[in-house]
Structure 1
């Protein structure tokens, strides 16, 4: 009966230790890495085996009977990893020497080391076996208790006959029964821990989903806002476009009707004036149609870019001829300045370069009432796209109405202007800057803006010089 009493004390101690270990694991180790968890488990299993020996039954000064192999059984079921089980077996065996270095301690060391190897082999079987965890646990408990009895009978210091006839009939069934009892209790701890983990995972998942839903809500609200603004801008664009198209069309229709119905009272000079007005209205209509076609080609990716040498001094001369007349009509100053270190030619698309500059200059004259407009061409070193490069800069500067800082980005978007009603006062569809920005990208450059409301604007077209400086003429 003394064996059973000591075994029950061992079981109670192991249950208490398991409960404390469960609390420690739940509140500290559970948040650690997997490697840390495994190391903590090995240490706790070895300490549990040592405590079981401390509370074991001393048959004499050297021989101790206990349930030190029970933590190895639980480890085999909970952590079926061969190396960990060998470490637990050897470590628990070494703990036996803490209670005295003698033949019985050596036998205990050999016994636990062999049990560690047997449990390592069983762990491989557990991974592959289709049996339930209860069936696997019973097999492990039976195997460990059986080989524990065999090892004691072979390596122990108690005479073989005495152990087989007097001790084993009591210790073997008691060890089996208490091992099963402890395994069931440990299983409840494990299931509770698993439930807690599942609850934490569900909570974390719900938190992530709530965060994701909030993000999606913000994105949807932003998209709805953008769609509303896009609808508003397109409505304004259509209203502006109808006005811009009707004006030249009405002019062409009315003037052509006057010419068709003229009598002898209409002079030749009046007919020439009518023809000139019709021609001007047709040019305005053609410009509008070209803007719309260019925008659709850019968005469809079908706008062709031609790469050839562009005379740097010839482009501003052509622009001066076109806009000098407008400047004189409006009483504005118009100057063009070329700095001295400019190259003679530039590899780009001459038609698109002139189109961009015409759009920038047209806007500058449109929104300038007094002062003037200037075009400055200079060379500049600038870091763009993570590399230092040489650029030729075409800066169009005016003393006009300026642009608020919060509109610096939006004015480059299609159908948008700094003020939705601005086209009613100044005319235009709001496509010029959007087309210019896209064309600049297609020819390898970009456009920058510096402006303050009421203080004028400065649009700068940057075109790369790298290809020319290296003597390479490649399509952009």
Structure 2
């Protein structure tokens, strides 16, 4: 068997040992302590050197040529402590004596001991150098092979001239080439192991994060249930209290009305007191009704009915309710109906009236001069509520609402400005309740407003009936004459 074949066998054995080491690390070393891992890895390096000698090329009974220095090269790149590398070199050198205590074995021992010291120095340089790992590895291979060649030439039992002229020209290139090949193969093993470890750690992190997310989810669900329960109890309390308050309040309102109406002298103080009590009771009753409606909405107990709603009668009733308010404030109050409205729509007349009363009440409350208008017309809508809608639009020339407050006004107990509640009064419940009611009716409320330029609130309701209310332009003119342009400012 030739020198080249022996070196190839050495390489094959080193690859086999490396593979076995990788398997052992994956299934055994990970379960042992760090100290035990260190000891076993050092012994594995020494064993690899011994395997190379076992299958090396025997030039004579005592002289063996092999790649025993290759495990020392690998140790130089793997270990961070130079002392460990020196121990491995010393250990591989001692392993040479297992093949006999001879002059050649002593030379082999000294060679590996010197190489261990050289590799320890190379290790220090590699950790401090800024070169790429491939460049540093190539330099280390060249240095170790050069020192190994010099040691064999100087310390070996083969004559210097014979070794340099006959053996070194074939041994040195072969050992450098095979060292590089093994280093590349081992590098591939190392990268594969690193990828496996990174994947393992990533999976562990994902499992940890999943557990943390599950815990956070359970905590959030528990808190959500607690909040829902607290909200339910609050809504139940408000609903019960509103019912309890309305009973005595209705009695007070009725008695106040009787006092104001039955006093023979209308200008008497008792009649004035009765009227004041009556108005205050009505305002308080409205607040209680709003709170009751809000609590029903939050508790999911507010129900709507579906019945025919007369589109003409509803504006008439609203006109009669707010006509006196408009006259007292000196405002023009107009109601305009489009000519193509249906006679009826299917909805809840009580809830539609409640929404429009809230919108008109706000319009009159926040308007000191100008007008308030109620317009009713048909419109085509797009998006989730695509189709035809009937639109109730309330316009005013009041104080208006800043653009950044358009969303706030639809939240319970909120005002566009904190000073508004002090100047104009109110609890801030009208618009939130109106928005909830519009959703229950299958519609929505939109607002267009700017500070100091008035406001326009639009109630969109789905149009289900196609029976026309106004069949001709003459009928339209007659209907609009009922409301449009009637300046009741006095």
Give TM-score, length-normalised by structure 2.
0.48
Higher gyration radius (CA): 2
Give TM-score, length-normalised by structure 1.
0.49
